Structure formats: C-alpha cells, structure tokens
C-alpha cells in the first residue's frame, strides 16, 4: 500500500528536503530514504544505525559481498526494490556477471566456497528459520567460512529480512537501472545511518 505521506513527505520540511536531495541526486529520491524521513520512529536512527554497522562496519566480508547477501535475501523474499538497490551497490565492487549469476543460482555461480556455503546458510535463515539445522553452520565453516563471517552474514540476513518486508508492504517504487546506479554511488559515500 503506497502511502501519500511517503511519496510527498509528511511535513513542509520533509517535502523540501526530498526535493533538494532529489535535485542533487538528479533522480527521484528512492522510497527507502523517503520512508526514513516519513516515520523516524519506524525506520529512523535505530534501524539506520544497525543497518550501517552491519553493512559498513568491520567484517571479514567485503562491502560488495555484504551487499550481494542483501540482494540475495531480497531475492528470496521477492523484493524487487531491494534486489535492484543492493545489486547496484554490490556491482560497484564485483563483476556484474558474478552478481547476476548469484541471483540466478548461487549454487552454480563463480564464487568462493565459503561464500556459497554462507549463502546456503542464509537461504535457510530466510526461508525456513525454524528449520535451521546446526549442520548448515558446520557446513559453512567446513567450506572455509569463519564463525565471525557467519555471525556477520546472519546480521545481514536479519536486517534485510525486516527491510525487504516493509519495502514490499509499502509498495516501494522500482527505479530504473540508471537511478539504482546513481543511488548506489550515494549509498557507498553516505552509508545507511
């Protein structure tokens, strides 16, 4: 359900800020940012800080790998906005063909064994969290993922299992590929907080 307040802003200050940022971006401000302006108690500072720490904080995973994980969670949750947004950020640091191969079928994508096993772990966390056997974590570690990498990946899945659901519930508009690309540059500079 699209909320008019998300589209246009819920106050004069917010409407002006949306216009200024859109003009600076040279494109429509994505709905993810509009929602943060609309309801600060829902997706404001706390969710932004958590997402920023998960996606840009210290990790053995690169920013691109974590963005790919976010896109994969979005793929499993059928969230076209988040697939496009996080793929666009991921390909700023990895071959677009690799990202696309993962989104098509990570089992056959040309990625490292630890990443493949971690994606398998995340798929279960996303699609069937109650059915997550300890063997999935053990298999990822046997493939070379560290315990810390699994914890970091689980944090990506946790935050994006929330974000993809509200993006779908609020019917986020889907930008063009060029708009996703512009927003990706902004997200790499600015982060999530």
Q: What is the DSSP string of the chain?
A: ---HHHHH-SSHHHHHHHHHHHHHHTSPPPHHHHHHHH-HHHHSHHHHHHHHHHHHSS-SS-HHHHHHHHHHHHHHTT-HHHHHHHHHHHTTSS-HHHHHHHHHHTTTSS--HHHHHHHHHHHHHHH-GGG--HHHHHHHHHTT--HHHHHHHHHHHHHHHHHHHHHHHTT-----HHHHHHHHHHHHHH---
The CATH number given to whatever domain includes residue 166 is 1.20.1290.10
Q: Give me the number of domains the chain comprises.
A: 1
Q: What local confidence, expressed as pLDDT, does residue 183 receive?
A: 87
Per-residue pLDDT tens digits for 74-105: 999 999 999 999 999 999 999 999 999 999 99
Q: Is 2 contained in some domain?
A: no
Provide the residue-wise pLDDT of the chain in tens; the chain has 193 residues: 556 666 666 677 777 877 887 788 777 777 666 666 666 666 667 888 899 999 999 999 999 999 999 999 999 999 999 999 999 999 999 999 999 999 999 999 999 999 999 999 999 999 998 888 888 899 999 999 999 999 999 999 999 999 999 889 888 889 899 989 988 998 899 888 7
Q: Is 152 contained in some domain?
A: yes
Q: What local confidence, expressed as pLDDT, does residue 42 receive?
A: 61
Q: What local confidence, expressed as pLDDT, does residue 113 receive?
A: 97
Give percent of the chain above pLDDT 90.
59
Residue 180 domain boundaries: 44-190
Q: Is 179 contained in some domain?
A: yes
Q: Is 22 contained in some domain?
A: no
């Amino acid at each position: 359900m699209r909320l008019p307040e998300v589209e246009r802003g819920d106050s004069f200050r917010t409407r002006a800020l949306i216009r200024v940022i859109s003009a600076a971006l040279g494109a429509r401000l994505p709905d993810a940012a509009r929602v943060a302006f609309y309801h600060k108690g829902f997706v404001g500072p706390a969710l932004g800080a958590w997402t920023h720490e998960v996606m840009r904080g210290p990790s053995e995973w690169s920013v691109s790998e974590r963005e790919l994980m976010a896109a994969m969670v979005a793929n499993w949750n059928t969230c076209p906005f988040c697939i496009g947004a996080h793929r666009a950020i991921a390909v700023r640091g990895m071959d677009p063909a690799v990202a696309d191969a993962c989104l098509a079928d990570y089992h056959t994508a040309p990625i490292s064994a630890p990443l493949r096993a971690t994606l398998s772990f995340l798929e279960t966390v996303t699609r069937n969290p109650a059915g997550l056997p300890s063997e999935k974590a053990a298999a990822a570690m046997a493939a070379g993922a560290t315990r810390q990498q699994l914890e970091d990946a689980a944090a990506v899945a946790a935050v994006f299992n929330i974000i993809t659901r509200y993006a779908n519930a609020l019917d986020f508009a889907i930008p063009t590929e060029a708009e996703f690309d512009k927003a990706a540059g902004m997200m790499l500079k600015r982060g999530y907080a």
